[in-house]
Amino acid sequence: MSQTDTLTQPRREAGTFTARRRSRAGALGLLAALLVLAVLISVCTGAMAISLPELAGIVTQQLGMEAAYPFEEHQKIIFWFMRLPRICLGILIGAGLSVAGALLQSLFRNPLADPMLIGISSGATLFAVLAIVLGTFFSGLLGGLLGSYLLSFAAFMGACLAILLVYQLSKVNGRSQITTMLLAGIAINAFVNALTGLLISMANDEQLRSITFWGLGSLGGATWTTVLTVLPFIGLTLLYMPRLAKSLNLLALGESQAAHLGVNTTRLKRQTILLVTLTVGASVAVAGTIGFVGLVIPHIIRQAFGPHHRLVLSGSALAGAAVLTLADTLSRTLVAPSELPIGVLTALMGTPVFVYILLKEKRYTHD
């Protein structure tokens, strides 16, 4: 029909296409560079400093080459068995929580949606607290090591059960409604928090300390085992999320509009919720609840690079990884030799940023 088109001829033609892809690659490149920088800072800083030449020496030797620069043996041990697993865990969890936040915000079409909001984190917390409180009875039975695995397992199950309950509650006429789901999440959240409070009121002092520590989050338990434990869960989300980008863009138009444009909204909801639960469940299981990352990072990325999900999801993953790596570096160095809980740091850093974003958005809608 284009031949007979008599209205205004398009002024702007193609060519914008390649430019757009280039700017997207540029944005991701920038964020990747930021992550590399964060990792280098984190590797080199700590109670035992490792300089960049020493780091090069450790890495080249491990690769089977002649060590490029001299270093001390205990630096190598600290690097391989303390810093690197901790950094890897920080990257995975930071990326996972940010992507989970971005996914939920898009699914609920609500910029304030967060894994904390719909009961995933609180479900995990309830079961973890349950494991800590009841754990004392069983600890003789199971032994310390198994006990700590039990805690992670319980947290993961708690996350899954909470979201399953929310999902079932939100079904109206056999179809899950997004707004009902948000409300069901808030209700379950309140209920689960009350149960957690009940358990805490029954806990003894030692249990209280471990509950508090766990609730504030920490990457202190990082080993290669924990890294490998969460890798499949978070890795699955990171690999699968590009496939959801287009559908999530369409969901921004509205649920029925997305369906008109070919999205199977039921499947999209299930996939998103499943990925978020696996990611957040695994994160909370090994590192406790770390707030604000999932809420703030996607906001910053959208502000900086626009709302297209192909960029929001990958950008959030990179930025979240960088931010959590830096936050963890601070958490283990600020009050060394003791550690600040990382959840405290992310909240302290995240709140002012979030308030700034809110003020800026308010200005922008008033113009």
Partner 1 sequence: MIEVNNLSVSLGGKELLKNVSFRVRPGQFWAIVGPNGAGKSTLLKVLSRDLAPSGGEVLFNARPLAKYQNQELAQVRAVLSQHNQVSLPFKAEEIVMMGRYPYHEHEPTDADYAIVHRCLAKVEALHLADRLYPTLSGGEQQRVQLARTLAQIWEVPQGYLLLDEPTNGLDLKHQYQTLHLARELAGRGYGVVAVLHDLNMALHYADRLLLLSKGSTYAEGTPAEVLNPAAIEAVYGIAVQWVTPAEGGTCFIMPQPDFQPISL
Asked if 254 touches partner 1 (CB under 8 A), the answer is: yes
Place of tokens 């496939």: 243
User: Cβ(50)–Cβ(75) under 8 Å?
Assistant: yes
Pick the binder of partner 1 from 36, 81, 257, 358 (CB under 8 A).
257
What residues from 109 to 128 belong to the interface with partner 1 (CB under 8 A)? 109, 111
Residue 178 binds to partner 1 (criterion: CB under 8 A): no
| Residue 295 interacting with partner 1 (CB under 8 A) | no
Tokens of 105: 């915000």
Which range of residues in 4-12, 72-80, 136-144, 232-240 is near partner 1 by CB under 8 A? Answer: 4-12
Q: What is the CA radius of gyration of the chain?
A: 23
Say whether residue 259 binds partner 1 (CB under 8 A): yes
CA distance 342 to 345: 5
Q: Report in angstroms how near the CB of residue 251 gets to partner 1 at its nearest.
A: 10
Give the chain's length: 367
Stretch that binds partner 1, among 33-41, 178-186, 246-254, 344-352 (CB under 8 A): 246-254
CA distance 75 to 46: 11
Nearer to partner 1, 259 or 353 (CB): 259
The site that binds partner 1 (CB under 8 A) totals a number of residues, namely: 38
| By CB under 8 A, residue 306 contacts partner 1 | yes
Contact assessment for residue 128 and residue 155, using Cβ atoms and an 8 Å cutoff:
yes
DSSP string across 81-141: IIIHHHHHHHHHHHHHHHHHHHHHHHHTT-TT--TTTTTHHHHHHHHHHHHHHHHHHHHHH
- Does 302 bind partner 1 (CB under 8 A)? Our answer is yes
**Least distance from partner 1 to the Cβ atom of residue 150, Å:** 42
The neighbour count for residue 223, using CB atoms within 10 Å, is: 14
Q: Is 362 in the site for partner 1 (CB under 8 A)?
A: no
* Site residues for partner 1 per CB under 8 A: 1-2, 5, 7-17, 21, 109, 111, 246, 249-250, 252-254, 256-257, 259-264, 302, 306-308, 364-365, 367
